[in-house]
Amino acid sequence: MVKSEVELFFEKGKEFLQTQAVELQGSVSKNSCEFVMKRLKSLQVNEGFQLAVLVLMYFLLIGVFRILLWVISVIGFVIFLLVKPWRLYTYQKKEIQKESIG
């Protein structure tokens, strides 16, 4: 099937618009990325900003680590309770002699 000149014209126009849109999107993305990087670099030089970020990260992470430690403790206790009926842990009562100076 042979395409007419009108179809070829619209097809070339469509391809041109697509390539222009992709190029425009790429340049906008690059420019916005460069702007954000410049802004971040100027903020990172500020020592007060760095200190604020460190303090906020400390408060955020201390809570996360506490929750994580609590979850690990609960999982360990559940595993202990599940293994207890098979008597993998033994209990022994021993009498210990102590010497004291007094």
Residue 76 has pLDDT above 80, yes or no: yes
- Find out whether 3 and 11 touch, Cβ atoms under 8 Å: yes
The whole-number average pLDDT for the span 67-90 is 88
53 band by pLDDT with thresholds 50, 70 and 90: confident
For residues 39 and 53, membership in a common domain is answered with no
Residue 28 has pLDDT above 90, yes or no: no
The whole-number average pLDDT for the span 23-47 is 80
For residues 21 and 31, membership in a common domain is answered with yes
For residues 23 and 54, membership in a common domain is answered with no
Determine the distance from the C-alpha atom of residue 27 to the mean position of all C-alpha atoms in its chain, rounded to a whole number: 28
CA distances to 6, 48, 58, 93 from 53, rounded to whole Å, are 60, 9, 8, 53
Question: What whole-number distance in Å separates Cα of residue 71 and Cα of residue 78?
Answer: 11
Question: What whole-number distance in Å separates Cα of residue 36 and Cα of residue 19?
Answer: 26
pTM: 0.41
Which residue is it, tokens 């990172």? 44
Residue 72 has pLDDT above 90, yes or no: yes
